[in-house]
């Protein structure tokens, strides 16, 4: 989860790093929203991070990043996050996360073209509005299939591996897919490829199946649904 706040001419980013936990996600959202921060939609890693591993964040244009490393463990209180200070110079913000062995495990670019359109001139922080990351002002319309097809690219880019695993269970339970189809997708190692296979499989099954997938996604990751601007759709019984 990435949040940005603007204070005078400095961009303050907070990149949260913690195991999948809906309760903590909600707590972070409430805390950040109360501070006037903006949630930025970012891509997930290609593979799930392992618990008890350490990670280091690099942002070339930052003036400070704290802490230097984060140890990925389950925490009962506020999850760990990297806090970075970035001068607003009009360049893209490149982020790169490294594992213990200095392998790149995640990258993201917040483009200047998406860029901050509001500046804070007083001592209070105010949300930075980013074209692709701000809250949806309106929702998509149309059938479940039309909505799902329109967000295919962003779904593949953004959905996390834990959500995909739970989504598969839900699709099987609601008989959208069968056991053989589920097993054929479960073995896919790459997150993006797995997401692509799931959404394409459901799209081929028509509007009712697409609507069921959207409703499941709304239960599993309402934040992603909000950012993709998709609505729950009624499913015939």
Residue 115 in any domain: the answer is yes
Supply 135's token pair: 């809250």
Half-sphere exposure of residue 91: CA atoms within 13 angstroms, side-chain side:
10
DSSP H or E segment with residue 96: strand 93-98
Q: pLDDT digit string (tens) for 59-70? A: 988 889 999 999
Q: Are residues 108 and 30 in the same domain?
A: yes
Phi, psi of 102, rounded to the nearest 5 degrees: 65, 25
Residue 94 in any domain: the answer is yes
Residue 138 in any domain: the answer is no
Q: pLDDT digit string (tens) for 76-120? A: 777 888 999 887 766 778 899 999 888 898 888 876 544 443 333
Q: What is the pLDDT of residue 158?
A: 86
Residue 190 in any domain: the answer is yes
Confidence (pTM): 0.51
∠117-123-124 over CA atoms, to 5°? 65
Q: Are residues 121 and 155 in the same domain?
A: no
Residue 135 in any domain: the answer is no
Q: Are residues 153 and 118 in the same domain?
A: no
Q: pLDDT digit string (tens) for 36-56? A: 788 787 877 877 788 888 999
Q: Are residues 122 and 28 in the same domain?
A: yes
Q: Which residues contact 145 (CB under 8 A, 6 or more apart)?
A: 203, 206, 207, 210, 211
Supply 193's token pair: 């490829």
> Residue 212: which domain range?
144-228
Mean pLDDT of 192-219: 92
Q: What is the CA radius of gyration of the chain?
A: 19
Q: pLDDT digit string (tens) for 187-202? A: 988 888 999 999 999 9
Q: Are residues 161 and 215 in the same domain?
A: yes
Q: What is the pLDDT of residue 139?
A: 52
**CATH code at position 119:** 2.60.40
Q: What is the pLDDT of residue 233?
A: 59
Q: Are residues 91 and 40 in the same domain?
A: yes
Supply 55's token pair: 């990670």
């Amino acid at each position: 989860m990435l949040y940005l706040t603007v204070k005078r001419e400095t961009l303050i980013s907070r990149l949260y790093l913690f195991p999948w936990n809906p309760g903590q996600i909600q707590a972070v959202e409430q805390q950040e929203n109360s501070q006037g921060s903006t949630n930025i939609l970012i891509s997930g890693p290609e593979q799930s991070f392992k618990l008890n591993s350490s990670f280091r964040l690099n942002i070339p244009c930052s003036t400070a990043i704290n802490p230097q490393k984060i140890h990925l463990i389950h925490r009962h209180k506020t999850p760990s996050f990297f806090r970075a200070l970035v001068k607003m110079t009009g360049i893209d913000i490149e982020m790169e996360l490294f594992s213990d062995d200095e392998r790149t495990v995640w990258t993201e670019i917040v483009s200047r073209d998406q860029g901050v359109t509001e500046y804070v001139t007083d001592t209070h922080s105010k949300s930075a509005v980013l074209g692709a990351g701000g809250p949806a002002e309106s929702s998509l319309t149309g059938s479940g299939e039309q909505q799902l097809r329109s967000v295919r690219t962003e779904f593949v880019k953004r959905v996390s591996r834990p959500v995909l695993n739970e989504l598969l269970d839900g699709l099987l339970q609601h008989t959208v897919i069968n056991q053989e189809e589920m097993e054929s997708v479960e073995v896919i190692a790459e997150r993006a490829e797995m997401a692509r296979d799931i959404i394409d499989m459901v799209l081929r099954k028509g509007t009712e199946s697409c609507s069921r997938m959207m409703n499941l996604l709304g239960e599993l990751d309402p934040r992603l649904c909000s950012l993709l601007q998709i609505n729950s759709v009624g499913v015939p019984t």
